[in-house]
Amino acid sequence: MKITVISDSLTNDEPENWLSLLPDMAPGITVAANAHGGWTTHSFFKEKFRDAAFTRVEPDTDVFILLVGSNNIFEDFGGSDEAVRLAVAGVERIAGRALALAPRAGVLLAAPPNVALANVQFQMTTPPRRILPETPFFLAELGAEYQRLAGRRGWMFVNLFPLLEDVDFADAAHPNPAGNRKIAAAVLKTLIEGGCIGGDGSLAEVRE
């Protein structure tokens, strides 16, 4: 199974990142990340699509996993209804571009996890990113809108928002190894429920 992940800094090539854990938990999966950075969905579309974001997408990609949108909230001074709207519109455009290159692929849309307000120790100003007490509300709204979008488009959906506790974060927004393992397990569970893993013997038994 070939999985291409379109994401931001929640997805990277560190050994204990959730993406890196997938092949260990379900041997037979091949994964690739097409993005890594502090992208909003609209900046990703404009900047990455101009360059090489999708040059490595193969036509036989089986599943796209989209995990992006938190930075729409963080860069709009902690969140707003407009930030949620832009994130949803951006994800739909990104998926359309990806599916044009691999039209038979399935899509798994992931609602980003919550934040750990207890770990907020800094506020980035270039670009302005803020995590405020109201930020979890807008992240939850984003997840609800993503679920509606996934329902309209017939995509798989996993809601990572309620998954992590404060102890599962390395900082205010990024999971630690324990948090990453929870994310990987939730993604694999959704792939199983979507019929992508198991039942046909194409992948070994998932190991959590």
Total domains in the fold of the chain: 1
Q: Residue 147 corresponds to which amino acid?
A: Q
Report if residue 29 sits inside a domain.
yes
User: What's the pLDDT score for residue 33?
Assistant: 87
User: What's the pLDDT score for residue 208?
Assistant: 40
Q: Report CA dihedral (85, 91, 97, 103) to the nearest 10 degrees.
A: -120
DSSP code, position 118: G
Residue 206 has pLDDT above 50, yes or no: no
pLDDT in tens, 138-183: 999 999 999 999 999 999 999 999 999 999 999 999 999 999 999 9
Q: Is 61 helix (H, G, I), strand (E, B) or coil?
A: coil
Report if residue 200 sits inside a domain.
no
Report if residue 116 sits inside a domain.
yes
Report if residue 101 sits inside a domain.
yes
* Distance separating alpha carbons of residues 150 and 194, to the nearest angstrom: 13
CATH number of the domain residue 42 falls in: 3.40.50.1110
Report if residue 203 sits inside a domain.
no
**For residue 69, what are its two tokens?**
């949108």
Structural domain range at position 173: 2-193
Helices 135-153 and 81-101 cross at an angle (nearest 10°) of 40
pLDDT in tens, 43-92: 888 877 666 667 778 889 999 999 999 999 999 989 999 999 999 999 99
* Distance separating alpha carbons of residues 32 and 189, to the nearest angstrom: 19
b/e string for 153-184 if b means 16 or more Cβ within 10 A?
eebbbbbbbebbeeebbeebbbbeeebbbbbb
User: What's the pLDDT score for residue 205?
Assistant: 45
Residue 204 has pLDDT above 50, yes or no: no
**For residue 111, what are its two tokens?**
């609602």
User: What's the pLDDT score for residue 164?
Assistant: 98
**pTM for this entry:** 0.92
Q: Are 62 and 1 in contact (CB under 8 A)?
A: yes
Report if residue 63 sits inside a domain.
yes
b/e string for 25-45 if b means 16 or more Cβ within 10 A?
bbeebebebbbbebbbbebbb
pLDDT in tens, 90-135: 999 999 989 999 999 999 999 999 999 999 876 655 667 889 999 9
Report if residue 202 sits inside a domain.
no
Report if residue 10 sits inside a domain.
yes
Residue 200 has pLDDT above 60, yes or no: no
User: What's the pLDDT score for residue 3?
Assistant: 95
